[in-house]
Amino acid sequence: MHVLIAGGSRGIGLACTKLFASKGDNVSVIYNNTPIESSSNITAFKCDVSDPEQVKDTVSKITDTNGSIDSLVYSSGIALTGLVTDFSADNYRKITDTNYGGLFFITHEVIPQMVRNQKGTITAISSMWGQTGSSCESLYAASKGAVDAYIKSLAKELGPSNIRVNAVSPGVVDTDMMKEYSDEDKEALKDETPLGRIGTPSEIAHVVYYLSTESSSFITGQIIGVNGGFLI
């Protein structure tokens, strides 16, 4: 299976890269600021996913190098904390163009391949804040809410072409984004999680892998919470 992982060089995306590669899949990784070394079945491509022209060129290079894309995993994303009155128009554009815009730009280029092949899977990394909203993370939460709506819409649109589209919606996970939180806030989030701990990128990656295989052949249009029971 040829899988394209956007944002596959760090955090949840990196965990996905390692898992798919360990299963023997052919993995193409898009990265921007955090390089990743290519290996026998991992090929790295630098691209700013918020730039549609870069995305178009990069997907073309990926297809020329590794063939048609069977599965797309979109894990590119950025977060920003602060009061809504502190955010600027540039903040809005950066978060929106990366977290949601990049997903649109990449799917716009990948979907025609999948439609021609009459098969494929698309899995986006969302966030539980996209469902609940989050104080001091309004732009981030809104961008993830857009991801959820887009995923559901694509699932309806692409189902007749045998293309399954889902999102994994993590709870509190140990990634670089957690650096935005104080130790006190982290402990409070643990306390609010019924399992009493922070999740790991690997735990999210295993759900992504499941959604990308035939084991989940009748699952589409779902926003699957992997949050330790935080949202019950």
**3-class DSSP string for 132-177:** HCCCCCHHHHHHHHHHHHHHHHHHHHHHHHCEEEEEEEECCECCHH
Partners of 31 in beta bridges: 46
Q: Which two tokens stand for residue 223?
A: 């926003």
Q: How far apart are CA 112 and CA 228, in angstroms?
A: 36
Q: Is 140 a catalytic residue?
A: yes
Q: Which two tokens stand for residue 99?
A: 């977290």
**Per the residue annotation, which of 74, 140, 150, 209 is the catalytic one?**
140
Nearest CA among 43, 58, 34 for reference residue 3: 43
Q: How far apart are CA 88 and CA 94, in angstroms?
A: 10
Let me know: does 120 contact 70? Beta carbons within 8 Å: yes
Catalytic positions: 140
